[in-house]
């Protein structure tokens, strides 16, 4: 019998770590190959980690709530018929306090960049925190416990002096107000709602987008009268023939995809020392549930008919609300279109879906008086609001993109835009 290691897999583009949100097995359980072992949460997706072997669970290396880097061991499985491993992976037991001998050597504390950033924002000295992760690794949970006062932090006099000694380019951490620990007064009748793992991941991703991406914003008005007339004329027969709704959103997604092919600069991403212009047009669509926001992707949307896009919107939204979305269905997005109009919104400013360069908010279609040929007329109007990464895009190209999109939508008819 041999012991095989199960490691934290790479769960998406740019994902470097994952948090064990729930173990689905216990020590001693017999598992089959591909059977799920644990639920893992990242800033992009919630997923299950399958077993790579058939055998019995020998050790659970990480605890629920622990954050581990991609490639780190999360558990060990005993497998029949293989040569036993000679090295055993130590387990950081949460029930036993870490002694001074168990702490990492000075200067060798282990923690991820995300943990370091969190500690700096809160003014926490990581050298004073006892890590509960593998080999004394300091996790997000440890830092949050320290911020909330749930873990005692030794504060020798030298620490204050150390904090004040900073490079000239960076202000002392002491002078920065903690961004995480916020003390809020509560009154009788107030309800405290714990922040779930999913909500924490969403918050972290939104914060990263706003901090890393210099957002700019633009809006354009579109006369959707022809689009409304066209869709209303065919929606009933389409529903009867296909079994699902023909929504306005499918028309907008198709128009955006076609326009991105004409303006590939918008279908790009910032990569530090270069800008990567994406070949495929993969449209991310935002789907909200009661407590989370998912962003599944319509791959190669420019090559699909409006019928095909409408079907994918229906299927992906249904999976998101049922919690059955697969990882591959949320990967590879190059541009996001958000149907904020479904909530009655007429103007909004979206946060860009990192690492994309832009997001388009499709607002509610409303009847408004407009001037046509010198006369007042009632038209179906819709606002399109675009947030853009100003490192990648400038006003000129985005203005031309929006004007072309407006032209395409205002001329959406049976003759110009076939559904099949």
Does the pLDDT value for residue 99 go beyond 70?
no
Which one, of 375, 341, 369, lies nearest residue 225 by Cα? 369
Contact 49, 77 (CB under 8 A): no
CA distance 334 to 301: 11
CA distance 237 to 260: 30
Q: Please, which pLDDT band fits residue 284 given cuts at 50, 70 and 90?
A: very high
Sign of dihedral through CA atoms 205, 210, 214, 215? Answer: positive
CA distance 206 to 203: 5
Q: What does 299-328 look like in DSSP terms, one character per residue?
A: TTGGGS-HHHHHHHHHHHHHHHHHT---GG
Does the pLDDT value for residue 407 go beyond 80?
yes
Contact 333, 316 (CB under 8 A): no
Q: Please, which pLDDT band fits residue 321 given cuts at 50, 70 and 90?
A: confident
Q: To which H or E segment does residue 61 belong? A: none
Question: What are the pLDDT digits (tens) for 47-76?
Answer: 788 898 899 999 999 888 888 888 899 999
Does the pLDDT value for residue 306 go beyond 50?
yes
pLDDT given at position 109: 54
Q: Count Cα atoms within 13 angstroms, Cβ side, for 275.
A: 13
Highest mean pLDDT among 35-44, 230-239, 283-292: 230-239
A 10 A CB-CB count for 169 gives 5
pLDDT given at position 203: 80
CA distance 164 to 105: 24
Q: How far is CA 58 from CA 25, 88, 90, 93, 360, in A?
A: 11, 11, 12, 15, 49
Q: Please, which pLDDT band fits residue 93 given cuts at 50, 70 and 90?
A: very low
Mean predicted confidence (pLDDT) in 184-210: 79
Q: Where does 213-247 have alpha helices with state H?
A: 225-242
Q: How far is CA 400 from CA 218, 387, 395, 412, in A?
A: 12, 15, 8, 19
Q: Is 390 marked active-site?
A: yes
Mean pLDDT of the chain: 82
Which one, of 287, 298, 288, 292, lies nearest residue 331 by Cα? 298
Does the pLDDT value for residue 85 go beyond 50?
no
Write down the catalytic residue from 142, 236, 390, 415: 390
CA distance 33 to 54: 5
Q: Is 328 marked active-site?
A: no
Burial class (CB in 10 A: 0-12, 13-18, 19+), 385: buried
Q: How far is CA 234 from CA 80, 229, 240, 291, in A?
A: 61, 9, 10, 35
Does the pLDDT value for residue 87 go beyond 80?
no
Q: Please, what are the domains in the chain?
A: 2-79 (2.40.50.100), 202-410 (3.30.559.10)
Residues paired with 18 in a beta bridge: 68
């Amino acid at each position: 019998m041999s012991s095989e290691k199960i490691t934290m897999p790479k769960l998406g583009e740019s994902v470097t770590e994952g948090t064990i949100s729930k173990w689905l097995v216990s020590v001693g359980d017999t598992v089959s190959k591909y059977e799920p072992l644990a639920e893992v949460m990242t800033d992009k997706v919630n997923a299950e980690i399958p077993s790579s072997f058939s055998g019995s669970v020998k050790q659970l290396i990480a605890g629920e709530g622990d954050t581990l880097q991609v490639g780190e061991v999360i558990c060990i499985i005993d497998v029949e018929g293989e040569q036993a491993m000679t090295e055993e992976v130590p387990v950081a037991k949460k029930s036993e306090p870490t002694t001074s001998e168990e702490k990492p050597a000075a200067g060798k504390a282990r923690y991820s960049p995300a943990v370091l950033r969190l500690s700096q924002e809160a003014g926490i000295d990581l050298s004073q925190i006892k890590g509960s992760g593998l080999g004394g690794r300091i996790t997000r949970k440890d830092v949050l416990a320290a911020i909330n006062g749930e873990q005692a932090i030794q504060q020798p006099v030298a620490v204050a002096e150390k904090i004040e000694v900073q490079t000239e380019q960076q202000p002392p951490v002491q002078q920065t107000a903690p961004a995480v620990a916020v003390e809020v007064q509560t009154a009788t009748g107030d309800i405290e709602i714990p922040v779930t793992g999913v909500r924490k991941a969403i918050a972290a991703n939104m914060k990263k987008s706003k901090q890393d991406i210099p957002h700019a914003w633009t809006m354009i008005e579109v006369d959707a009268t022809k689009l409304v007339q066209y869709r209303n004329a065919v929606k009933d027969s389409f529903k009867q023939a296909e079994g699902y709704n023909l929504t306005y959103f499918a028309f907008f997604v198709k128009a955006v995809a076609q326009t991105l092919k004409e303006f590939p600069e918008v279908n790009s991403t910032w990569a530090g020392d270069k800008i990567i212009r994406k070949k495929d047009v993969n449209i991310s669509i935002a789907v909200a549930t009661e407590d989370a926001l998912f962003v599944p992707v319509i791959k190669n949307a420019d090559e699909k008919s409006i019928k095909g896009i409408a079907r994918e919107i229906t299927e992906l939204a249904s999976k998101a609300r049922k919690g059955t979305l697969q990882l591959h269905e949320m990967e590879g997005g190059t541009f996001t279109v958000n149907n904020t109009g479904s909530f009655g919104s007429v103007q909004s400013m979206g946060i860009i879906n990192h690492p994309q360069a832009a997001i388009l908010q499709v607002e509610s279609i409303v009847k408004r008086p407009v001037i046509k040929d010198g006369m007042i007329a009632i038209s179906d109007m819709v606002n399109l609001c675009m947030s853009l990464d100003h490192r990648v895009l400038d006003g000129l190209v985005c203005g031309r993109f929006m004007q072309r999109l407006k032209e395409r939508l205002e001329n959406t008819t049976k003759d110009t835009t076939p559904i099949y």
